Amino acid sequence: MANIVLVIYKAALNALYFSGLYKLLSPATRGEGIIFTLHQINNDRVEDFSPNSILKITPEFLETTIQTVKAEGYDIISLDELYERQKHGNKPGKPYAVFTADDGYKDNRDIALPVLKKYNVPLAIYIVSDYSNHQGELWWFALEDIIKNSSSIQNPYNKGEMLEAVTTEQKYRAFDKIYWPMRKSNQQEQRATIREMAETHDYDIDALSKELVMTWEELRELNKEPLITLAAHTKSHFAIARLSEDEAVEEIQTGMEIMEKELGEKATHFSFPYGSNCAANSRDFELVKQFNFKTAVTTRKAVLYEEHKDHMMALPRVSLNGEYQSGRYIKTFLSGLPFRLKNKWQKLDVE
């Protein structure tokens, strides 16, 4: 089902591009600028079974994106400058693009940074304190690995059910059957369930963050790079909207305190884990105000308009992901048009 939605969405994006409609309407719909979301940037071979590959782009595509954005006349700026421009008004005729990356993956430094330096492009990286402590659960990667390495798997949400996982198709089916209930379940239980699965399948879940995520020592070193801003992304990577108010405050605050202790400075920008409508909502946009962040970002898809200056705790972003690795998608995204169409022509989606 997810694939059909993707095919339709891509067809729609292509229609907007090839009809030239994006270009025609862009002056009215492109707004002040755009914030891009990245996760991993690497050339890891995409295997037949790679359900998380949408969270990965190649360094070549990162470079294409930077070139496309520049060619379209955009300034590429930091989050601090975005804050200034939103607060005090943007330069006329000078839209901006901001690059952000979630979770603190090592390849942000090893593979993305050389590309960013070549073009003098700033990057904000959002840190999950558990992952940088090499604790916690990158459960979506663990689930992929466990299914990749198994020929059958027990459905933890229907204990009697054994899911065949021999062919790629069966592996995808097993992943879909477990991923969504896991994402939606109580988050303490979610983490216990993935740990239980890891144990059953003799899979070392703690090795994942060690392998993928930068340590504090590495982050302190990276923080010396003028192009890099390190920002907050909670302690455990729980969907904030699904926590009580007290739990939500504690998740954000503890993550920030650990960051401050390790890096010697307070985070001034924030990213909501998952960031979708079910993971961050109006209660949470209010709630994060107490932390005095300059900006807080979601993964609600849109470009930024002047009106966002009153909603700096609910900024939209557009994912640069494995499914859209082509310059024409970037041009269509910059126009803001696909998001206006999806949001019933509304500029703001902040409830």
Identity of the residue, 102 or 137, whose beta carbon is nearer to Zn ion in the bound complex: 102
- 102 or 262, CB closer to Zn ion? 102
Binding mask 259-278 for Zn ion (x = CB under 5 A): --------------x-----
CB of 276 to Zn ion, least distance (A): 11
Of 50, 56, 102, 122, the one binding Zn ion by CB under 5 A: 102
**130 binds Zn ion per the rule CB under 5 A:** no
**Closest residue to bound Zn ion by CB:** 102
Per-residue contact string for residues 2-41; x = within reach of Zn ion by CB under 5 A? ----------------------------------------
Q: CB under 5 A: which stretch of 15-23, 48-56, 98-106, 208-216 binds Zn ion?
A: 98-106
Using the minimum distance from each CB to Zn ion, give the nearer residue, 29 or 100.
100
Q: Which is nearer to Zn ion, 68 or 298 (CB)?
A: 298
Q: Residue 100 and residue 38: Cα distance in Å, rounded?
A: 6
Q: Which two tokens stand for residue 265?
A: 């400075």
Min. distance of Cβ 102 from Zn ion in angstroms? 4
- 8 A C-beta contact, residue 305 and residue 348: yes
Question: With binding defined as CB under 5 A, does residue 103 bind Zn ion?
Answer: yes
Closest separation in Å from C-beta 190 to Zn ion? 14
Number of residues that bind Zn ion (CB under 5 A): 3
Stretches 100-108, 156-164, 242-250, 325-333: which one binds Zn ion (CB under 5 A)?
Answer: 100-108
Pairing outcome for strands 162-164 and 152-154: antiparallel
d(CA 232, CA 27): 34
* Region binding Zn ion by CB under 5 A among candidate stretches 3-11, 95-103, 295-303, 327-335: 95-103
**Cβ proximity to Zn ion, 140 vs 157, nearer residue:** 140
Least distance (Å) between residue 70 CB and Zn ion: 27
Q: How far is the CB of 213 from Zn ion (least distance, A)?
A: 11
Residue 103 vs 145, nearer CB to Zn ion: 103
Nearer residue to Zn ion within complex by CB, 97 or 239: 239
Residue 346 CB, shortest distance to Zn ion, in Å, is: 26
Question: What is the 3 state secondary structure string of the chain?
Answer: CHHHHHHHHHHHHHHHHHCCHHHHHHHHHCCCEEEEEECEECCCCCCCCCCCHHHEECHHHHHHHHHHHHHCCCEECCHHHHHHHHHHCCCCCCCEEEEEEECCEHHHHHHHHHHHHHHCCCEEEEECHHHHCCCCCCHHHHHHHHHHCCCEEECCCCCCCEEECCCHHHHHHHHHHHHHHHHHCCHHHHHHHHHHHHHHCCCCCHHHHHHHECCHHHHHHHCCCCCEEEEECCCCCCCHHHCCHHHHHHHHHHHHHHHHHHHCCCCCEEECCCCCCCCCCHHHHHHHHHHCCCEEECCCCCCECHHHHHCCCCECCEECCHHHCCHHHHHHHHCCHHHHHHCCCCCCCCC
Of residues 30 and 233, the one with the C-beta less far from Zn ion: 233
Taking the complex as a whole, the smallest distance from the CB of residue 14 to Zn ion amounts, in Å, to 29
Q: Which is nearer to Zn ion, 146 or 240 (CB)?
A: 240
Task: Tell me how crowded residue 43 is: count the other CB atoms within 10 A of its CB.
Answer: 12
Counting Cα atoms < 13 Å in the Cβ hemisphere of 21 gives 12
Minimum distance from residue 214 beta carbon to Zn ion (Å) = 14
The site for Zn ion (CB under 5 A) is made up of 102-103, 273
